[in-house]
Amino acid sequence: MPKGFSLHIGLNEVDPSHYAGWSGELVACEADAEDMQQIARTGRYESKLLKTSQASRDAVKSAIADAAAGLKSGDVFFLTCSSHGGQIPDLNGDEIDGLDETWVLYDGQLIDDELHELWRKFEKGVRVLVLSDSCHSGTVTKQIANAAALRGMKDELALSYQGIEEPKRRFMPAKVAQQVFRTNRAFYEAISKALPEREPLNEEKDQPEASVLLLSGCQDSQYSADGPFNGLFTGTLLQVWNQGTFEGGYRRFHESIVSRMPPTQTPQLTFVGEPDGKFLREKPFTI
């Protein structure tokens, strides 16, 4: 019988000592993680929760690697992350836009190249579902950037969310992001150098054998909104899920979420690794 393991990450702030004095306070990321863990528990997943200071780079990478070591073909790894999302200069030349996407974890950013290498630890036939409620998350699982992911920001008039005139966005301000990279350049360069070399801009080589399905909160060029109870993406997802009464596969699930989102935030559904039509047709969160 297939088994499922889930990991849920939520950060309402980060360590200012790494982020140039910026603590990045958010409201609803921990709640997002708790709500997604509840869905996983209802679905009989063995689950782990990492909130704020627990969600370090090492803790997240270790939990993903542990899941890869314990899951076999037919099993499911369900991973959710609600946090700030970032972008840093692409240091290995495999991004069309020159930027790598990141999850802004407590003590440092986790780069999409690192996530790509972690997916390669999973056996062929493992289904990996990633929900990322963070800014710039359209290709955070490391699909080479494409025209759809590079679309510009849409009309900023659609800002309101449950009565909030200007919802807080889950991204580092540009000046902070630049200062964080400059201050920690050697740290991020060392990460890049330690990763296996990849042929630049090649989507076919070195792909994971597992099927990694990403449902992101927005496109690479967009921002994800925070909220009073959940992030805009997670809150909308929970409405569509409707305590498990939703019927249909991931494509319909994605389309239903997008239909309720403002034009400034467009969730993306994409595969990295081995495309799996059966996985795509399953009811969301099924083991």
Beta-carbon count within 10 A of 31 CB = 20
Query: What is the model's pLDDT at position 205?
Result: 62
122, 71 in Cβ contact below 8 A? yes
Query: What is the model's pLDDT at position 94?
Result: 66
Q: Is 277 helix (H, G, I), strand (E, B) or coil?
A: helix
226, 28 in Cβ contact below 8 A? yes
CATH-assigned architecture of domain 4-281: 3-Layer(aba) Sandwich (3.40)
185, 178 in Cβ contact below 8 A? no
On average, the pLDDT of the chain sits at 87
Query: What is the model's pLDDT at position 160?
Result: 39
Pairing relation of β-strands 85-89 and 108-111? unpaired
pLDDT, tens only, 104-138: 999 999 999 899 999 999 999 999 999 999 987 77
User: Could you tell me where the DSSP H helices lie in 141-249?
Assistant: 174-183, 185-194, 232-241
pLDDT, tens only, 35-55: 999 999 999 999 999 999 999
65, 128 in Cβ contact below 8 A? no
pLDDT band at 174 (very low <50, low <70, confident <90, very high): confident
Beta-carbon count within 10 A of 244 CB = 12
Query: What is the model's pLDDT at position 221?
Result: 82
Asked if pLDDT for residue 159 goes beyond 50, the answer is no
Query: What is the model's pLDDT at position 99?
Result: 79
pLDDT, tens only, 210-265: 999 999 999 888 889 998 999 999 999 999 999 999 999 999 999 999 999 988 89
Nearest to 267, CA basis, from 97, 131, 158: 131
Note the maximum CA span of the chain: 50
Asked if pLDDT for residue 168 goes beyond 50, the answer is yes
